[in-house]
Amino acid sequence: MTPAARIEAVIELLAEILATPRPADTLTSAYFRARRFIGSGDRKAVVTRLYRIMRGYHRLSWWIERCGEKVSARTLVIASLIFDKEQNMASLEKMFSGAQYAPGQLTHHEREMAKDLEGQDFMPDDMPLRARSECPEWAFEPLRNVLGEGFEAEMKKMMEPAPLDLRVNTLKAERAAVLAQLQKEGIDAHEGQISPLCIRVFGRPPIAQHNLYKEGAFEIQDEGSQMVALVANAKPGEQVADFCAGAGGKTLALGASMNNKGRIVAMDVLGKRLNRAKERFRRAGLHNIETRPLTSERDKYVKRHAGHFDLVLVDAPCTGTGTWRRDPDKRWKELGPGLSTLVPLQKDILDSACRMVKPGGRLVYATCSLLPEENERQVEAFLAAHPDFTLAPARDIVQAAGSDDYLQLRPSAHDTDGFFAAVLIRRKQEDAAA
């Protein structure tokens, strides 16, 4: 692809992302599947530019509107090219030539906007804090309240690309051996900082094409997500329910922790995601997992299996504020229910899932959110309503920074996605009686 054709691809893809209520990563994958003629180098160039624009969406939009223009895929791309100093007016005219595979010619208004932007400071002093911090309006005050003086530092960190982390599958490999193999092949890989199973890879190699990945020696999983599975502390021989299993990332980690002994039931209301997870389970060599689609959080299966499980993990649906580095479109695009809908849903899920925990068993509640409404307050409300449960301090289970009563990981402090986890123990009958 020519440089102009790459820019046109970014415009096409960004226009679809802006117009479609689906996640950017899903739309990007579908875009390239339909255009298999686009080579790997061109795909990487298009995706790199696309995500750079999405990470600067609020700041670029502020400038575009300040120039009196409407925010669109074309104006976002034009503004980005100017601010990245990759184009000036003369070269921009040549790039937007209207030739085959190139973007259409600049309109009069686009040309005037580009002239106004040329030479400007991308983040001037009069840019509002919400725009310069790339924070959506609905989350601005809640995050400022919880982060306090650390708000700007946290938001700045979340403008960076997310790292590429691997979780070594201990059923098939050891971290030292996998790390040595990757380094031998010239891949820039290092041990993770807080998870004993993590390898962090730099430079974005095509890791999913690696033989070790295909053989199930490792999975791609954020280090923070790995820590949630570690704090759940699934043991060989236990009966485990992954209540909101989704695509099965944490289910895989639980299965490896159990050394394939015992039983895991991966549950979710999205049955298609569970079906897709089955291939991941097979590749990892896990045979102690069964899948169970649920009609809702109060599916009859839950009632029938009351008091049956040693461990129930609830990786609850949430706003995903902790994953903005990985999913920057969540900052400015509605991709699901809002906070006012999610908080009561989380409560209902906890109220239902807790029934499955046997006396002495563990209920682990987790989110990828930074908001206390979804985290500490949710747990406090649950404990007040369920006196037969008590909090087990996370620091007693995993010795890692960010572990106190709760596991709380943040991008600025731990260079992971933002994660929260609480371990709740159901009292044994004799304890409750005492």
Domain boundaries, the chain: 3-132, 164-220, 230-433
Decide if pLDDT at 2 tops 60: yes
pLDDT for the residue 80: 97
CB 341 within 8 Å of CB 322: no
pLDDT value for 432: 52
Catalytic residue flag (residue 368): yes
Q: What angle do CA 328, 221, 373 make, to 5 degrees?
A: 55
Q: How confident is the model at residue 90 (pLDDT cuts 50, 70, 90)?
A: confident
Q: Which amino acid is at 397?
A: I
Supply φ then ψ for residue 408, to 5 degrees: -130, 110
According to the model, what pLDDT value does residue 428 have? 84
pLDDT band at 412 (very low <50, low <70, confident <90, very high): very high
- Give 228-239 pLDDT, tens digit per residue: 999 999 999 999
pLDDT mean across residues, the chain: 94
pLDDT (tens digit, 9 = 90+) per residue, 52-84? 999 999 999 999 999 999 999 999 999 999 999
Q: Which amino acid is at 141?
A: E
The pLDDT tens digits for 279-300 are 999 999 999 999 999 999 999 9
Fill in the amino acid letter for 2: T
Could you give the C-alpha distances from 189 to 40, 64, 176, 205, in angstroms and in order?
21, 40, 11, 10
Question: Do 402 and 349 contact (CB within 8 A), yes or no?
Answer: no
CATH superfamily entry for domain 230-433: Vaccinia Virus protein VP39 (3.40.50.150)
The b/e string for 150-179 (b: 16+ C-beta within 10 A; e otherwise) is ebeebbebbbeebbbbbbbbebbbebeebb
Q: Please, are residues 113 and 67 in contact by the beta-carbon 8 Å criterion?
A: yes
Question: Between helices 3-19 and 73-83, what is the axis angle to 10°?
Answer: 130
Model confidence at 271, pLDDT cuts 50, 70, 90, reads confident
Measured CA to CA, the distance from residue 27 to residue 234 in angstroms comes to 35
Per the DSSP assignment, residues forming a β-bridge with 218 are 168
- β-pairing, 239-242 vs 389-392, is unpaired
- Name the β-bridge partners of 191: 199
User: Would you say residue 133 has pLDDT above 90?
Assistant: yes
pLDDT digits (tens, 9 = 90+) for 160-207: 999 999 999 999 999 999 999 999 999 999 999 999 999 999 998 999
- pLDDT band at residue 328, thresholds of 50, 70 and 90? very high
- The two structure tokens encoding residue 24: 């950017």
Q: Where are the alpha helices (DSSP H) in 160-210?
A: 175-184
Strand duo 309-315 + 407-409: pairing: unpaired
The amino acid at residue 29 is: S
Handedness of CA 16, 38, 216, 51 (dihedral sign): negative
Report the C-alpha dihedral over residues 22, 23, 26, 29, rounded to 10 degrees.
110
| Catalytic-labelled residue, pool 67, 244, 354, 368 | 368
Long-range contacts, 187-191 (Cβ 8 Å, 24+):
none
Which one has a higher pLDDT value, 85 or 304? Answer: 304
**Site of tokens 């504020």:** 321
- How far apart, in whole angstroms, are the C-alpha atoms of residue 319 and residue 378? 14
Maximal CA-CA distance, the chain: 81
Domain 164-220 and domain 230-433 have a common topology: no
Plot region of 119 (φ>0 → left; ψ -120 to 50 → alpha; else → beta): left
HSE (side-chain half, CA atoms, 13 Å) at 270: 9
Residue 226 pLDDT greater than 90, yes or no? yes
pTM of the model: 0.93
Residue 401 has pLDDT above 70, yes or no: no
User: Cα–Cα distance between 369 and 367 in angstroms, integer?
Assistant: 5
**Buried residues in 187-200 as b, exposed as e (16+ CB within 10 A):** bebeebebbebbbb
User: By percentage, how much of the chain surpasses pLDDT 90?
Assistant: 91
How far does Cα 13 stand from its chain's mean position? 21
Helical (H) or strand (E) element with 212 = helix 211-214
Tokens 């992302």 belong to which residue?
17
DSSP state of 305: T
Per-residue confidence band for 89, with pLDDT thresholds at 50, 70 and 90: confident
Find out if CATH 3.30.70.1170 is the number for domain 164-220: yes
Q: At residue 434, does pLDDT exceed 50?
A: no
